[in-house]
Amino acid sequence: MRCLAAICMMAACLSTAPATGQDSLANVSGQRAVAPVGKPLVVGDMTHEETVVRTAYAKFAYASEQDAMDQLAMEVNNIALQHRKEYAGLTSDQRLTAARVTFTLTDFVVGNIHDILSRKAIDFISPAQGEMLTATTPVSGYGEGGQSILLHSIRPSWQPARPTPPEALEVKLDDLYQFQWRTPLRPDTLWQRYASYSVSVDFQGKSRGPYKALFIFGHDDRGNEVVYPEDGTTDALGLASALHEHLFPEPYVRTRLRNSTMITDWLKARQMSGQDCSVGQGDVCCDLATMQCGPGQEDIAKELAKPLPTR
C-alpha cells in the first residue's frame, strides 16, 4: 500500500536497484505509465493535459458503476458464484448508487516538468489522510457464439493509509524523476510536461480533499504519448487503467444480456451522444465539464442492430 504515491517507497529505497523485466510500461513501484487510448479532444479552454487528467478520473468513476452493473448482470443470469457482502440487503438501484464515485478537479497548472524538479514532492502530491481509495481492475468474460467478450471495470474501496515517514516529506520531484519515472525499463521515454491540480473525492459517504495530485506527460521512442499519474489518495494504478482501457460495455449489446430489462434501462440512462463521443472507437464518451461518462448512443444503436451470434 502506498503512503504518499511512490514517495514513501522512494524514501526507503533510493539505494535499491530497480527490478528488471520486459514491460516498458511497468516500474518498480507497481504503478505504470500508460499510453492513453484514442486522442482526447481539447474541450473549450482546457489544455490537452487537463483534458487527459479529467478523462482519467471521469472514466474511473464510470468504471466503478460498471463494476456494480456487471455483478448485477451476472446474478440475473446465474453466473455469479456468490453475492458480494457489501451489497447485502440493497436493491439494484441502491447498489449502483453505492458504486458511484464523484471527483471534483480544480486549480490546474500545466508546464514544463523540468521547471519543478527542484521542488518537494509533497508540494504536488499530497499524502493520504487516514484512508485512501484503493482499486482493483476486474475483467469479466462473457461467452457468446463461441467467442469471449470482455468487460473492464474498476472496484474501489476505502483502505487505511500507511503513515507518511518523516524522510518522505523531504523527497524532491527530481528524486522521483531520476529513480522512478526514468528507470532502465523506460530509457527512451522523455518526460516533458506536467499537470498539477487539486482533487476532492466522494465515495460511499466519505470524502477526501481538496488535495494535490500530479500527472506527467512524455513520449516513448516511437513518438507515442505516455502518461504517468501520481495521486496519493485515489489509486493511481486505477487511474492509469481507466485511461488505458476501452470501457465500452460490449457484453451488454453483443450477447443475450441485451434482452435484460435491467441492462437496457441502464444503457438508456447512461448513454451519451454529441461531440464528446468518438463513434466506433470501442470506448465510452465523457463530458469533462460534468465528469460524466457513458457508452455512445450511436455505438449502442449500431451494435443492437446486429443479430446475435449463433450459439
The answer to whether 174 and 14 have CB atoms below 8 angstroms apart is no
**Domain residues of the chain, as ranges?**
31-304
**Percent of the chain scoring above 70 in pLDDT:** 79
The tens digit of pLDDT for each residue in 105-125 reads: 999 999 999 999 999 999 999
Residue found by looking up cell 495530485 in the block: 213
pLDDT tens sequence across 258-294: 999 999 999 999 999 876 677 778 899 999 999 999 9
Residues 6+ away with beta carbon under 8 Å from 146: 309
The confidence score (pLDDT) of residue 166 equals 87
In this prediction the pTM is 0.85
Count Cβ neighbours within 10 Å for each residue of 230-244 and write b for 16 or more, e otherwise: bbbbbbbbbbbbbbb
> Quick check: 15 pLDDT over 50?
no
CA distance 179 to 89: 48
Provide the mean pLDDT of the chain: 82
Split at pLDDT 50, 70, 90, the class of 63 is very high
pLDDT above 80 (res 203): yes
pLDDT band at 92 (very low <50, low <70, confident <90, very high): confident
Strands annotated E in 66-205: 101-112, 131-136, 139-144, 147-152, 155-160, 190-203
